[in-house]
Amino acid sequence: MADDMFRGANELEGRAIREIAALAMDAPAAAKSGHSGTAMALAPLGVMLFSRVMRHDPTDERWSDRDRFILSCGHASILQYGLAHAFGYDMTPEDLRSFRQPHSRTPGHPENGVAPTVEVTTGPLGQGLANGVGMAIAERILRSDYGEELVSHRTWVIAGDGCLEEGISHEAASLAGSLGLDRLTVFYDDNHITIDGPTELALRDNAAERFAAYGWHVINLGEQANDLDALEAATRLAIGETSRPTLIIVRSHIAFPSPEMMDRREAHGSPFSAPVIEAAKELLGVPNEPFLFDPELPHLMVEALANRRSERVAWEARITAAGQHGVQLLEQLQFNGMALVETEPEPFAGGSMVATRKAMQRAMDAFAPQCRGLTAGSADLTDNTGVLLAHSPAQGAASPGGRQIYYGVREFAMGACMVGQALHGGFRPIGSTFFVFSDYVRPAIRMAALSHAGVLFVFTHDSVGVGEDGPTHQPVEQLMALRAMPRLHVVRPSDANETLDLVEQFLSAKEPVTTALILSRQDMPVFSGDDAAASAAGARRGGYVLREHDDAVFTLVGTGSELGHCLSAHDQLLAKGIVTRVVALPCWACFDEQPLEYRTGVLRRAIPSVALEAGATLGWTKYADEAIGIDTFGLSAPGAYVFDYFNINPAALVAHVQIVLGDSR
Q: What is the mean pLDDT, run by run of 10 residues, along the chain of 665 residues?
A: 78 98 98 97 98 98 97 98 98 98 98 97 97 98 98 98 97 98 98 91 95 98 97 98 98 97 93 97 97 97 97 98 98 96 97 97 97 97 94 97 98 98 98 98 98 98 95 97 98 98 97 97 96 98 97 98 98 97 98 98 98 98 98 96 97 98 79
| Catalytic residue from among 13, 411, 498, 613 | 411
Cis peptide before 257 (omega within 30 of 0): yes
Res 665: pLDDT: 62
d(CA 65, CA 80): 20
Q: CA nearest 213: which of 235, 242, 244?
A: 244
pLDDT at 1: 37
pLDDT for residue 663: 78
Report the CATH architecture of 353-525.
3-Layer(aba) Sandwich (3.40)
> Which pLDDT score is estimated for 2?
41
> Is 411 one of the catalytic residues?
yes
| Alpha carbon distance 17, 44 (integer Å) | 6
pLDDT at residue 4, rounded to an integer: 78
User: What pLDDT, on the 0 to 100 scale, is given for residue 3?
Assistant: 47
- Alpha carbons 218 and 229: distance in angstroms, whole number: 18
Question: Strands (DSSP E) along 190-257, which ranges?
Answer: 193-194, 197-198, 217-222, 246-250
pTM to 2 decimal places: 0.97
Q: What confidence score (pLDDT) does residue 366 get?
A: 97
* pLDDT at site 315: 98
Classified as helix, coil or strand, 558 is: strand
Pairing label, strands 544-547, 580-584: antiparallel
Q: Where are the domains of the chain?
A: 2-308, 353-525, 541-661
Short-list 449, 656, 663, 433, CA closest to 565: 656
Question: Burial of 531 by CB count in 10 Å (0-12 exposed, 13-18 middle, 19+ buried)?
Answer: buried
CA distance 72 to 160: 8
Assigned CATH for 541-661: 3.40.50.920
CATH fold match for the domains 353-525 and 541-661: yes
Interatomic CA distance for residues 554 and 559, integer angstroms: 17
Dihedral sign (CA 135, 140, 141, 142): positive
Q: What is the largest CA-CA distance in the chain?
A: 93
Q: Are 546 and 534 in contact (CB under 8 A)?
A: yes
Rg over alpha carbons for the chain, rounded to the nearest Å, is 28
Please tell me the distance from the alpha carbon of residue 207 to that of residue 205, in angstroms, as a whole number: 6
Nearest to 363 by CA among 387, 393, 379: 387
Q: What is the DSSP letter of 285?
A: T
- The residue ranges of DSSP E strands in 359-455, in sequence order, are 374-378, 404-406, 428-434
User: What is d(CA 461, CA 467) in angstroms, rounded to the nearest whole number?
Assistant: 10
Looking at residue 269, its pLDDT comes to 86
On whether the CB atoms of residues 558 and 582 are closer than 8 A, the answer is yes
Backbone angles phi, psi at 395, to 5 degrees: -60, 135
Note if the bond before 393 is cis, omega within 30 degrees.
no
CATH number for 2-308: choose from 3.40.50.720, 3.40.50.970, 2.60.200.30, 1.10.10.10.
3.40.50.970
Contact of 616 with 476, CB cutoff 8 Å: yes
How many other CB atoms are found less than 10 A from the CB of residue 114? 13
